[in-house]
Amino acid sequence: MTLRSLSLVTLSIAAAAFAAQTAHHLSQQRNDSFVIVSGDSTTMNGSSGDVELARALQSKTSGDYVWFVRNGKAYFIDDPAWVKQAQSLFQPQEDLGRRQSELGEEQAKLGEQQGKLGEMQSKVRVKLPPIDHEMDGLQAQLKQMQSQNGEVTQEQLSDLQARIGELQSKLGEAQASAGEKEAELGEQQAKLGEQQAKLGEKQAALGEQQAKLGEAASRQMNSMLDTAVGNGKAQPAQ
């Protein structure tokens, strides 16, 4: 057998395998599967396998087209006016998709702000006043008095306690300042959280709208496809 004959046999086997795979795939499809192919983008009701089969027609068609399944058979329609009408059914969904994308970007920005505030909160520390040196000095005075007199008078003790009280007051002020800063950041976080919640509610509402629009568009699309099969507008894809 010549090399050319071998190549033809190989191609025939590959074509037969693809046809068998396609037939098996179509036999498992729902009767309402369809794919609108618009350049590099697709709008579909089905599976990734449907997209693969629909894409296989690009070399046989020019421009956009619709691939679909009816009663286990694959069809396609490439009439520009018909395809444009089909695409218009799903335009409202695409518009909602863009709005959801915009909301997603807003949520991402809020998330960044929340992250920055979180970092600021983690960095809030009590800035202690320089009391170590003063405390060392007071302890040194106490030791000196004890070594000279053997005891500390009430007046001396009161003076030391007053100084210690001043140091504790400074420490308390520093802690209060840090607490106020944390509270301020906490309020900002709460406001951002409220904004995130509102955006989430909007996203959920848009999702519900998309679901309803998708169901309505798919019903209209399938009605159009049934009509196309009946009037011969649809062509066999195999």
Same domain, 202 and 174: yes
Euclidean distance between CA atoms 5 and 237, whole angstroms:
28
Which of 61, 89, 117 finishes a domain?
A: 89
Question: In this model, does residue 164 exceed pLDDT 90?
Answer: no
Q: Residue 237 domain-assigned?
A: no
The residue segments making up the domain with residue 61 are 3-89
Domain shared by 153 and 203, yes or no: yes
Residue 227 lies in a domain: no
Tell whether 125 is covered by a domain: yes
User: 116 with 196, same domain?
Assistant: yes
Domain identity same for 97 and 134: yes
Same-domain pairing of 118 and 8: no
Do both 70 and 116 map to the same domain?
A: no
* Model pTM score: 0.56
Question: Number of folded domains in the chain?
Answer: 2
Q: For residue 238, is it within any domain? A: no
Highest mean pLDDT among 15-24, 133-142, 174-183: 174-183
Is 130 found in the same domain as 57? no
Q: Give the pLDDT mean for 128-156.
A: 67
131 occurs within a structural domain: yes
Label the pairing between strands 73-77 and 235-236: antiparallel
Same domain, 37 and 48: yes
pLDDT of residue 20: 44
Give the Å distances, CA to CA, from 207 to 94, 138, 168, 210, 231.
12, 69, 57, 5, 36
pLDDT band at 18 (very low <50, low <70, confident <90, very high): very low
224 part of a folded domain: no
Cα torsion through 231, 55, 50, 229, rounded to 10: 0
pLDDT at 78 over 50: yes
Residues 31 and 47 in one domain: yes
Tell whether the model's pLDDT for residue 69 goes beyond 50.
yes
Say if residue 152 is in the same domain as residue 167: yes
Q: How far apart are CA 177 and CA 183, in angstroms?
A: 10
116 & 64 share domain: no
Is residue 209 located within the same domain as residue 106?
yes
